Amino acid sequence: MIQQHGGNIGQLSNILDFSANINPLGEPESVKKAVAETVCDIEKYPDPYCTELRDRLGKHEKIGAERIVCGNGADDLIFRIVHAFRPERALICVPTFSEYSRALSETGCEIQEHILDEELDFELGESILMNLERSLDMCFICTPNNPTGRLIAPEILAKISVKCLENNIILVCDECFMGFVEDSENYSLRQFLNEKCIILKAFTKLFAMAGIRLGYAVCGSSEIALKIQQSGQFWSVSALAQTAGIAALDETEYVNKTVRYITEERRFLAAELAKIGVKLYDGAANFLMFRSRIELAEMLLAEGILIRVCANFRGLTYGFYRVAVRTHDENIRLINAVRRFLNG
């Protein structure tokens, strides 16, 4: 059976991993250096409140540090948010990241699904507004969405934000891949932030820090932030992760270089895959979703290339795949392999 995700490759060896959406430029040298220097202090407990990191994040996000909560990756924060507020009824859009439903299911929450239409390339549109009823306690959205890569149009984000505020619904917007997007500030919920909003962000993907778990939540109020902070384990963020995050926040040029590189390579990869004849979905992140033959993943794995099989995403079936945008040479290797298998 083919593995779904290469983040835990297991017994596979010599694999070119297109299944995990990590920055192909690798982690910044400043982050490596900062982590190495912190190793000398690992006998000390980390700051449970991430005081320095939150202060730096507050300046970075132009918001008070009291409205920021740090966690052991964005996944940790998803579970902490759900356990903090224990919604009785919540809305998610499918297909999307599976951890939302996993966290909600842990608390016995009734989950309502808003189905994204393949005929509309899985774009989230105004139809979601009809589902944002007063009976809901929480709503999860994701932009760019995982696995589709689709951005939510700013005018739709604005309407969702207003509707959730009017109906007393906590809106959780996952923006963990927003750092790879051109003009990201124009697509972020940050511009429509209100007291019912929570924005999730992570260092994991953008700074290639998957092994150092670090995410944070930007909250619409200090009350929401405090409630999340008080949920979950006390020492949730290691000293190494806090140090890495502080160092990463200085890497402005690294981020700009990443956005330029990912944008160029994603367009190249999409254009070449389209020439081969796969069905591509218009994404804006550091990955692409497409549809092709159900045997494709096994064929590629036989050549040492692992891609993400999306059949375990609600709303998708076998034949849907997600591939990360990697280095140019690696992208060419993938393109050539797909062309060989599909066009003989």
The predicted-structure confidence for 39-56, as pLDDT tens digits, reads as follows 888 899 999 999 999 999
What separation in angstroms does the CA of 72 have from each of 80, 145, 235, 238, 248?
10, 21, 9, 8, 16
Least confident of 3-12, 107-116, 150-159, 181-190: 3-12
Give CA–CA dist 141/139, Å, rounded: 7
**Does the pLDDT value for residue 5 go beyond 70?**
no
Task: Note the pLDDT of residue 13.
Answer: 65
User: What's the average model confidence in pLDDT over 173-197?
Assistant: 97
DSSP state of 96: S
Cβ proximity of 74 and 209 under 8 Å: no
| The pLDDT of residue 83 is above 90 | yes
Please say if the pLDDT value at position 201 is more than 90. yes
Look at the alpha carbons of 49, 53, 59, 62 in this order and tell me if their dihedral is positive or negative: negative
Q: CA–CA separation, 18 vs 15, rounded Å? A: 9
What integer pLDDT is reported at residue 249 of this predicted model? 98
Could you give the CA distance from residue 142 to residue 145 in angstroms, rounded to a whole number? Answer: 5
Mean pLDDT of the chain: 95
> What beta strand segments (E) does 72-207 contain?
89-94, 110-115, 138-142, 170-174, 197-202
Average pLDDT over residues 77-91: 98
3-state secondary structure of 31: helix
- Determine the pLDDT at residue 288: 98
Q: Which residue has the higher pLDDT, 87 or 9?
A: 87
**Mean pLDDT across 263-280:** 97
For 277: left if phi > 0, alpha if psi spans -120 to 50, otherwise beta; the answer is left
Q: What percent of the chain has pLDDT over 70?
A: 96
Confidence of residue 298 (pLDDT cuts 50, 70, 90): very high
Distance from C-alpha of 94 to C-alpha of 319, rounded to nearest angstrom: 17
Q: What angle do CA 96, 318, 3 make, to 5 degrees?
A: 80
Quote the pTM value.
0.95
